[in-house]
Amino acid sequence: MKKRTRQILFFIFLSIFFILAPILVLHVQGYRLDFKNKKVTQTGGLFIKTIPKQAQIYLDGKLSKKTDFFFGSVLIENILPKKYKIEAKKEGYSVWEKALEIREKEVTEAKSIILFPKEINYTSLAEDVENIWFSPNKRKVILKEKEEGFWALKLYDLDKNLKSHVIRESDISKKGADLFGLKFSENGREILLETGTAEQLKYFTLDINRDVPILEETKRPLFKTVVAYQIFNGDSYYLDNLGDIYKVGGDIFSYENESLFPIKERVTTNPFPLKKETEYKLHVFPEFIFIQEERTLHLLSQDTKLFKNFFERVSFLKMSTDREKLAYFSEKEIRVLFLKEQKGQPRREKGESVFLLRLSEKIKDAFWVNSSYLILNTENNIKIIEIDNRDRINIVDLAKFQNPEILWNQKDKKLYVLDEGNLSVSEKLIR
């Protein structure tokens, strides 16, 4: 090769180097040519985490990556900034999809995706059931069943798949009795029964930890000054008949009379104006206290210790499993109040409230599946909804029943459905 030829080739490769080197450096730094907008822009990323693992992730209909086998997560890098239709799919499971914005030099996150089974099998547990209650450890269930026109309580051991007799209505009164309430003790060894006969209200404790349950009547006092109360973190909060809220250590009903209360702390500065012949409830959550007046919620200000109107038309409230969110419901609408700051995506401020959605059917009850999903029953349907309201909210229709009652067991991840007296349990919904 002649010297001149070598020189020409040298300058050609040198020119190519000076042209490509900056392009390679920019490429490594995340810059790409956006042909659509005819400009050079820096890319962003997308972090996805799914249950179950190894779900396929699609961007604008094109398969991008799979979530990994160990953590169920994936990081997709070097994505041109714009809004993408993102889908998470796995055979045999519901599809999750949402339009999310990818921004320059940022990683967009969707870390709480659950894909639920499309086909769910249910197993029948019992018939002629009127109501059910879970023990605190979720391993036992008390069933209220019909027996020859009267009610009876049965204990169902979920670990042993065994049902045993507890008491009959006649054990309370030979003339019959109504069961108004049932509550487990914190250790799950006893249950407290609130019953009513033709003569009076009666309270009983029932030791279910024995081979033969022992029923004992207890003098559970009804303090005239207590309008509403709630036990939270081992302390009792109660609203008295003057409109003041007090905090007392332990269960106030463990004391025979009010004079035996330990030192009590006044929570409010000024009394709440109570109305005659009006139903009140007290709701206590971390740093948030509500008085429910019929269907209107009043929130106690942490600064002024005064109540302000928070929400009308409320049906019920449910605190999330991580105790950082509060779902509150009207007949057909769902909203979420954030009890603590949420630093992930979407970011939420403490005290921020968001509207989720409105349904066409009345919402009867709901439970938190985890800190990101709610399961609820309407008049004839059972649904699961996410609380991430960026773009559309993903809704999964689980099953159709006639006027179902539901209980979600956080421990075994199964759904218990009471439908026209038949109690069924689903297979595991989170796998």
Q: pLDDT (tens digit, 9 = 90+) per residue, 292-301?
A: 999 999 999 9
Structure-model confidence comparison of residues 331 and 211, the more confident one: 331
- H or E element, residue 257: none
Per residue in 32-53, pLDDT (tens digit) is 545 566 555 788 899 999 999 9
The domains found in the chain, sorted by start residue, are 31-114 (2.60.40.10)
HSE value, Cβ hemisphere, 13 Å, CA-based, for 273: 2
pLDDT score recorded for residue 234? 84
* pLDDT recorded at residue 42: 81
* Average pLDDT for 157-170: 88
Please say if the pLDDT value at position 54 is more than 70.
Answer: yes
- In this prediction, residues 417-428 reach a mean pLDDT of 92
Longest alpha-carbon distance in the chain? 120
Task: Report how far residue 368's alpha carbon sits from residue 344's, in angstroms, rounded to the nearest whole number.
Answer: 19
Give the tokens for residue 84.
Answer: 């993408």
Q: Average the pLDDT over 123-133 and give the result.
A: 90
- The label of the residue with tokens 């799914």 reads 50
Indicate whether 359 pLDDT > 90.
yes
Q: Residue 329's closest CA among 309, 355, 351, 307? A: 355
Residue 170 backbone phi and psi in degrees, to 5: -65, -20
For position 310, what pLDDT does the model report?
Answer: 96
- Provide the mean pLDDT of the chain: 88
Instruction: Give 99's strand partners.
Output: 85
